[in-house]
Amino acid sequence: MSTALLASLLAAGCALAPAQPDTPNAISTTAPSAWNTPLPHAGRTVDLALWWQSLGDPVLVQLIEASEHVSPTLASATSRLRQARAALENASAANRPGLAANASAQRGVNQSSPTVGTGLQASLDASWEIDLFGANRQAANAAEARLAGSGAQWHEARVSVAAETATAYLNWRNCRSLLDVAENDARSRSETARLSALSAQAGFTAPAVNALAQASAAEGRSRATQQRQQCDSTLKALVALTALDEHELARRLALPAPALPELAMPAVSSVPAEVLSQRPDLYAAQYEVAAASADLGSSQAQRYPRLTLAGSIGALNYSTLGTSTDLSTWSIGPLALSLPLFDGGRRAANVQSAQARYDEAAALY
């Protein structure tokens, strides 16, 4: 009778398992053969950091690594990734049996012996929830999808920090080049003003022409000063990004820098939609839709019966009046079925909330 009942429950579980909502069509992360331009990271998000090394500038790579170590954005993304890993482990544990050790001691009188005795007992108790309707499995699927999304957001944070640092570094190099031009121009104007002054003193140049030359020299010096201040501001931005000492950073930046390679810029008439899948934010949004779908399935399954199985094995020692009795105990069961009848609408509200979260995730995606 019990075997037939269990078989019928399992069959009912397969029949009543909640249907999963349709998720948006997944975008392939592999670019088609018609897309000839190679992606900068070979289509793999984890290789984005290596792309900066292709520029052949070790100082740039060092600054990016320093920025990653102190970036609060990356630290926050790392924390979220660790939380997602722990959440996946927690959700997966619900699908596995649990085992607990128990021990107890008591002293007193019982019906079988009117004298005072001491009882010692130890046992191992196992329990397992049979996931009839997939509630635990769907919760684990949701946690796994969110882990994938958190990984994409972590890569996005790394790329963002690296790009911001590289932009500041290249701005500094460009600023220094412009400063060299401004200083050379200022020296040239100053020399012209000096010669114009000598010519004016000798009477070969009109005072008005000399005044124009002096004004031009002053303008050149002013432009060089402004450019130098801009370079100082860019340097301080790099200090804020890398948390390096300003003097140490200036020492590194003073090292000879290799010429940047010429990057091929092919003409692109159209971009296939598959390339959008390389964006970490869209990748994370796609997995958030999958996680919300699994959450919806789990909340629906919570409305159906739950089946649990327990078992125990242990030993008992009872001693009184110098005599001792040892007993071994074991049990399988109970096989318990819990059927939710009335909860004030809590489970139905959970399903509605999960459906709304899924709709939101799908709309954002």
Q: Is residue 12 part of a domain?
A: no
3-class DSSP assignment, residue 100: strand
Domain harbouring 89, CATH code: 1.20.1600.10
H or E stretch at 99: strand 98-110
Cβ atoms of 64 and 162 closer than 8 Å:
yes
> What's residue 363's pLDDT?
93
Question: Which alpha helices (DSSP H) does 45-129 contain, by range?
Answer: 48-53, 58-70, 72-93
Q: Is residue 27 part of a domain?
A: no
Q: Cα angle at 215 between 214 and 218, to 5 degrees?
A: 90
Q: Is residue 269 part of a domain?
A: no
What is d(CA 42, CA 62) in angstroms, rounded to the nearest whole number? 22
Q: Specify the pairing of strand 323-338 against strand 113-130.
A: unpaired
Q: Is residue 304 part of a domain?
A: yes
Q: Is residue 135 part of a domain?
A: yes
What is d(CA 47, CA 43) in angstroms, rounded to the nearest whole number? 8
Q: Which residues pair with 107 in a beta bridge?
A: 118
Residues spanned by the domain of 79: 47-106+117-258+278-364
> What's residue 270's pLDDT?
60
Q: What does pTM read for this prediction? A: 0.70
Structurally, the chain folds into a number of domains equal to 1
Amino acid letter, 43: G
Tens of pLDDT along the chain (365 residues) come to 444 434 443 444 443 434 444 444 444 444 444 444 444 454 454 566 567 777 778 898 889 989 989 999 889 999 999 999 999 999 999 888 998 999 999 888 766 667 788 888 999 999 998 888 989 999 999 999 999 999 988 988 988 899 999 999 999 999 999 999 999 999 999 999 999 999 988 888 889 988 999 999 999 999 999 999 999 999 999 999 999 999 999 888 888 777 777 666 666 666 666 667 677 888 889 999 999 999 999 999 999 999 999 999 999 888 887 788 888 989 888 888 888 888 889 999 999 999 999 999 999 98
Amino acid letter, 298: S
> What's residue 268's pLDDT?
62
What is d(CA 296, CA 134) in angstroms, rounded to the nearest whole number? 11
> What's residue 194's pLDDT?
92
Q: Is residue 61 part of a domain?
A: yes
User: DSSP letters along 206-248, please?
Assistant: -HHHHHHHHHHHHHHHHHHHHHHHHHHHHHHHHHHHH---HHH
Q: Is residue 165 part of a domain?
A: yes
Q: What are the structure tokens assigned to 199, written together?
A: 């010519």
Q: Cα angle at 328 between 324 and 334, to 5 degrees?
A: 140
> What's residue 26's pLDDT?
44
> What's residue 362's pLDDT?
93
Q: Is residue 177 part of a domain?
A: yes
> What's residue 16's pLDDT?
40
Q: Residue 318: what are its φ and ψ, rounded to 5°?
A: -130, 125
